[in-house]
Amino acid sequence: MHYSQFTQRIAGEGAAAWDLHLAAVEAKRAGRDVIVLSIGDPEFNSPAAVTESAIAGLRAGDTHYADILGLPRARAAVATQHSRQTGQMVGPENVAIVAGAQGGLFCAAMCILEPGDDAIVLEPMYVTYEATIQAGGANLIRVPLRAENGFRLDLDDLARAVTPKTRAIFFATPSNPTGVVLNRRELVGIAELARKHDLWVVSDEVYSTIVFDGEHVSICGLDGMAERTVTINSLSKSHAMTGWRAGWIVGPQELIGHVANLGLTNLYGLPPFIQNAAALALETPVPEVASMREAYRRRRDLAVAALGQLPGIVCRKPAAGMFMLADVRGTGLSGHDYAWRLFRETGVAVLDATAFGQSAAGHVRISFAIDEATLAEACRRIAGFTKSLGKAA
Ligand SMILES: Cc1ncc(COP(=O)(O)O)c(C=O)c1O
């Protein structure tokens, strides 16, 4: 039978790196002594008050179709929180509730990119960006961030990548996988380019509450950016609510209108008991958000202390998020071979960072979405394995 060209465009290349993660999950299920540091799904429970709200909603029969763009309560809660956090004053009409930040990225790409347009992405990039941008026929243009610059943006590189075909710039700040937080100077530089060339900016801010060093700045709050910025966020990481798929888009009202039409063709509105619980999470202080950030900070410090001095490894200390990139080129192994040998010899699963683009080649990504004691054990195994490589050389 025939399948559309679309199916080719959504089959991203990054898929191979996940083989190791899948193998690890399978081995763990089979009862083997495996530590999975290859995924960013927080192991914390969702905040109890939010869970209770969803249960109460289910019991009360809050299980019917919801408004396609989201319940008025949920859209208002997002608008209030977004205005407070970013300095861009928005109302519910600027908000669409979508299926996770990923749903938001897809909606944004489909509504702003034409087939044949160029969309610039700062790379290393989150793995789904490739398929998301290419789905509608746009071209993905990578602007590599160099490891030797600490994966920071070189604004000249970005300026050189802009052509008459460029329609948008996509990035995540804080970044997955680098943990780099774009600073105000970098964001002002991106904003200047966007205004000069009349570009959209899609800013993925799912790690904005998990910043350890420096401050998170939202580009939408900079001069002249409200009309051309799509801000994407969710409760997945901030509230350990990955499975709830509670995400949103904030942008110009006209864009939200197009997202409504797109919603009519697929999601048809997030379940109302989830939206009401998500609204509660935004309306009331949730102490778990800060306590989880502090837990990630401790895990980051633990990993840097355990692995930072190892011969053959350079830890790229993340300023934010729940991942660390470790440069393993000094061991003589590629990221792929290091990750597979580490898994086979110690049971610790990390991800070859080339999944996030060639600019992360020679690195592996270590996730902190695991309790401290298990992370410490994983670090001991990583250290033992890395030292054994030195001896064999
Ligand atoms: C940078 C980035 N954006 C988006 C997502 C997807 O988030 P959500 O679960 O809200 O769809 C992730 C998940 O890992 C991510 O790392």
Q: Which of 82, 33, 3 is nearest to 347 (CA)?
A: 33
The verdict on the CB of residue 133 being under 6 Å from ligand 1 is no
Please name the residue whose Cα sits nearest to atom 7 of ligand 1.
101
Domain that holds residue 327: 5-45+288-392
Question: Do 96 and 245 fall within a single domain?
Answer: yes
Q: Is residue 324 part of a domain?
A: yes
Q: How many CA atoms lie within 13 A of 146 on its CB side?
A: 7
Q: Is residue 264 part of a domain?
A: yes
Question: Do 73 and 18 fall within a single domain?
Answer: no
* Boundary (domain end) residue, out of 228, 260, 283: 283
> Which residues touch 8 (CB under 8 Å, ≥6 apart)?
none
Q: What is the mean pLDDT of the chain?
A: 96
Q: E strand or H helix at 247, and its extent?
A: strand 246-250
- 363: β partners: 327
Judged against a pLDDT cut of 60, whether residue 393 lies above it is answered with: no
Question: Do 217 and 89 fall within a single domain?
Answer: yes
The verdict on the CB of residue 100 being under 6 Å from ligand 1 is yes
Distance CA 381, CA 106 (A): 38
Structure tokens given for 153: 């943006």
The verdict on the CB of residue 173 being under 6 Å from ligand 1 is no
> Which residues touch 69 (CB under 8 Å, ≥6 apart)?
75, 95, 96, 97, 256, 259, 260, 263, 269
pLDDT value for 18: 82
Question: Do 152 and 180 fall within a single domain?
Answer: yes
Q: What is the DSSP string of 332-364?
A: T--HHHHHHHHHHHH-EE-EEGGGG-GGGTTEE
What would the pLDDT profile of 12-69 be if each residue is shown by its tens digit?
A: 666 677 889 999 999 999 999 999 999 989 999 999 999 999 999 999 999 999 999 9
Gap from CA of 177 to ligand 1 centroid (Å): 11
The verdict on the CB of residue 102 being under 6 Å from ligand 1 is yes
Q: Is residue 198 part of a domain?
A: yes
Gap from CA of 102 to ligand 1 centroid (Å): 6
Q: Which of 92, 308, 105, 76 is nearest to 206 (CA)?
A: 105
Per the CB < 8 A criterion, the answer to whether 113 and 141 are in contact is no
What would the pLDDT profile of 154-204 be if each residue is shown by its tens digit?
A: 999 999 999 999 999 999 999 999 999 999 999 999 999 999 999 999 999
Question: Do 210 and 266 fall within a single domain?
Answer: yes
Residue entry with tokens 């009202």: 253
| Cis before 124? omega within 30 | yes
CA dihedral angle for residue 55, residue 60, residue 65, residue 70, rounded to 10 degrees: -60
Q: Which of 180, 174, 225 is nearest to 201 (CA)?
A: 225
Distance CA 245, CA 52 (A): 17
Number of structural domains (the chain) is 2
Gap from CA of 252 to ligand 1 centroid (Å): 22
Per the CB < 8 A criterion, the answer to whether 274 and 246 are in contact is yes
pLDDT, mean of residues 265-290: 97
Question: Do 108 and 229 fall within a single domain?
Answer: yes
CATH of the domain at 359: 3.90.1150.10
pLDDT, mean of residues 284-301: 97
The verdict on the CB of residue 355 being under 6 Å from ligand 1 is no
Gap from CA of 96 to ligand 1 centroid (Å): 17
The verdict on the CB of residue 101 being under 6 Å from ligand 1 is yes
- 142: β partners: 121
What would the pLDDT profile of 317-365 be if each residue is shown by its tens digit?
A: 999 999 999 999 999 999 999 999 999 999 999 999 999 999 999 999 9
Distance CA 361, CA 328 (A): 9
Residue entry with tokens 């669409």: 96
* Boundary (domain end) residue, out of 262, 283, 304: 283
CA dihedral angle for residue 285, residue 289, residue 294, residue 298, rounded to 10 degrees: 160
The verdict on the CB of residue 178 being under 6 Å from ligand 1 is no
Gap from CA of 104 to ligand 1 centroid (Å): 10
pLDDT value for 14: 61
The verdict on the CB of residue 367 being under 6 Å from ligand 1 is no
Share of the chain above pLDDT 70, in %: 98
Ligand 1 atom nearest the C-alpha of 175 is 1
Question: Do 122 and 212 fall within a single domain?
Answer: yes
The verdict on the CB of residue 247 being under 6 Å from ligand 1 is yes
Distance CA 336, CA 107 (A): 33
Question: Do 157 and 190 fall within a single domain?
Answer: yes
205, 237, 322, 324, best to mutate for ligand 1 pocket (most atoms within 8 Å of CB): 237
Distance CA 306, CA 23 (A): 26
Gap from CA of 312 to ligand 1 centroid (Å): 31
CATH of the domain at 195: 3.40.640.10
What would the pLDDT profile of 111-156 be if each residue is shown by its tens digit?
A: 999 999 999 999 999 999 999 999 999 999 999 999 999 999 999 9
Q: Which of 280, 231, 239 is nearest to 83 (CA)?
A: 231
Structure tokens given for 346: 């110690």
DSSP helix/strand/coil, 35: strand
Per the CB < 8 A criterion, the answer to whether 316 and 151 are in contact is yes
| Burial of 83 per CB tally in 10 Å (0-12, 13-18, 19+) | middle
Question: Do 199 and 334 fall within a single domain?
Answer: no
Question: Do 160 and 182 fall within a single domain?
Answer: yes
| Cis before 144? omega within 30 | no
Question: Do 340 and 264 fall within a single domain?
Answer: no
The DSSP bridge pattern shows strands 35-36 and 229-234 to be unpaired
Question: Do 346 and 225 fall within a single domain?
Answer: no
Q: Which of 117, 120, 98, 118 is nearest to 107 (CA)?
A: 98
